Amino acid sequence: MEGLLNKRVLVGVCGGIAAYKSADLVRRLREIEAEVRVVMTPAACEFVRPLTFQALSGHPVLTELFDPAAEAAMDHIALARWSEVVLVAPASANFMARLAHGFADDLLTTLCLATQAPLVVAPAMNQQMWLAPATQRNCKIIDRRGVLVLGPSAGDQACGEIGPGRMLEPEQLVRGLATLFESGALAGLHVLITAGPTREAIDPVRYISNRSSGKMGYALAQAALSAGAKVTLVSGPVCLRAPRGVRLICAESAQEMYEAVMPLAARVDIFIAAAAVADHRLDRAASQKLKKSEKPLSLQLSSTVDIVSEVAQLAKRPFVVGFAAETEDLEANAGDKLKSKRLDMVAANRVGLGQGFEAEENELYVVWKGGSRFLPRMLKRDLARELMQLIRARYRETHPTESP
């Protein structure tokens, strides 16, 4: 977390039961020697007293736009200019709506409009409020304006319901915040990523494929780019736009993806095999459309090339990260893949029942030689940043003379 050392962090606290987590957030920021000021909305004061944050931050807490004490020491414009980053945690549905539409009717929204510092929000609300079309629309508005949205995660909620809307844990927020000041963490490195499914032709109309959307691979490409890396993305057929600044190579079949990856693999520093490559292909695809018949259709299948294994066997190999989509025995299967394919790291996730493929959220069990870590369920863009931090840390451990 060295990126936050001596950084000036303004923490905004909105009303909600998650406000109690913000006390731990402030404590953690102080522990890594960030300088912290806290602004609370009136609703937040109903959940946690300002005195708590004053004791943890070491500075008076501001709650009113025209607080005489605040104006005497540091007016709201000066505080906006003081901040190197503004983090609103928890960010309520009401706050996000006002932020999206430019309201400045209290101290916190005024600061958010007045600052030029990066703005980060950590949503926290009832799962139905989070899923409401109005909230999702407001989230998209602030995202387009460059506001970094961290979370929410899913799980049990204080109201007794289960679903998305939980504020990320303080440790996760600190790590996410640190990435804003580590844009050069992968500077000088070339990262090659595969994403999406492949399609293996049956005839000119039909194909064998899987349910991969490519969202995780594309999120990893953005995370690597944001960390300063040169990024090449080899993508199967998806309905996504590649991040600006990423070199995109399109591939349809497993063989096409293999032919795109192998000439680059020995020249890159990190290879992340996030694509869901089809395991089988037809021995011979039909040249004409197969007509429907009463007779059973038999397809002769052969195994496709194992791209991640081929890269791992190169004499001059990059740091190799594989993905594993599992329906059972997640940890055991991830460990087996790490060893059998001689990978440096494996990120495994369960698929099915609304997880993994086609979902906006995911969770990962990440394993490497001598260690492992569980990344809890969160939006894939947040998960990609957390995974990229793990990859970066492990890469630096195994390549100490080559890391930036």
Please write down the HEC assignment for all residues of 357-380: CCCCEEEEEEEECCEEEEEEEEEH
Spatial strand order in the sheet of 148-149: 35-40, 8-13, 85-91, 119-123, 148-149
Which among 173, 175, 155 is positioned nearest to 164, based on CA atoms? 155
What are the residues facing 366 on neighbouring strands? 347, 373
* Cβ density class 119-157: b for 16+ within 10 Å, e for less: bbbbbbbbbebbeeeebeebbeebeeeebbbbbbbbeeb
The C-alpha atoms of residue 287 and residue 51 are separated, in whole angstroms, by: 75
Beta 200-201 vs 190-195: how paired, if at all?
unpaired
Structure tokens at 362: 């995911």
Half-sphere exposure (CA, 13 Å, Cβ side) for 130?
Answer: 23
Per-residue CA distances from 398 to 2, 116, 278 (Å): 20, 38, 31
Of 14, 159, 239, 250, which residue is the catalytic one? 159
3-state helix, strand, coil in the chain (%, to 5): 35, 25, 40
Cα 351 from Cα 38, distance rounded (Å) = 40
Q: Are 339 and 346 a contacting pair, CB within 8 Å?
A: no
Who contacts 290 (Cβ-Cβ below 8 Å, separation ≥6)? 202, 203, 206, 297
The DSSP annotation for 124-145 comes to ---HHHHHSHHHHHHHHHHHHT
Q: Is 139 a catalytic residue?
A: no
Quick one: 74 exposed, middle or buried, by C-beta within 10 A (0-12, 13-18, 19+)?
Answer: middle
Amino acid at residue number 99: L
Instruction: Please provide residue 270's backbone torsions phi and psi, each rounded to the nearest 5 degrees.
Output: -135, 130
CA atoms within 13 A on the CB side of 183: 4
Dihedral pair phi/psi, residue 165, rounded to 5°: 140, -5
Q: CA 303 to CA 18: how far, in whole Å?
A: 50
Catalytic residues: 159
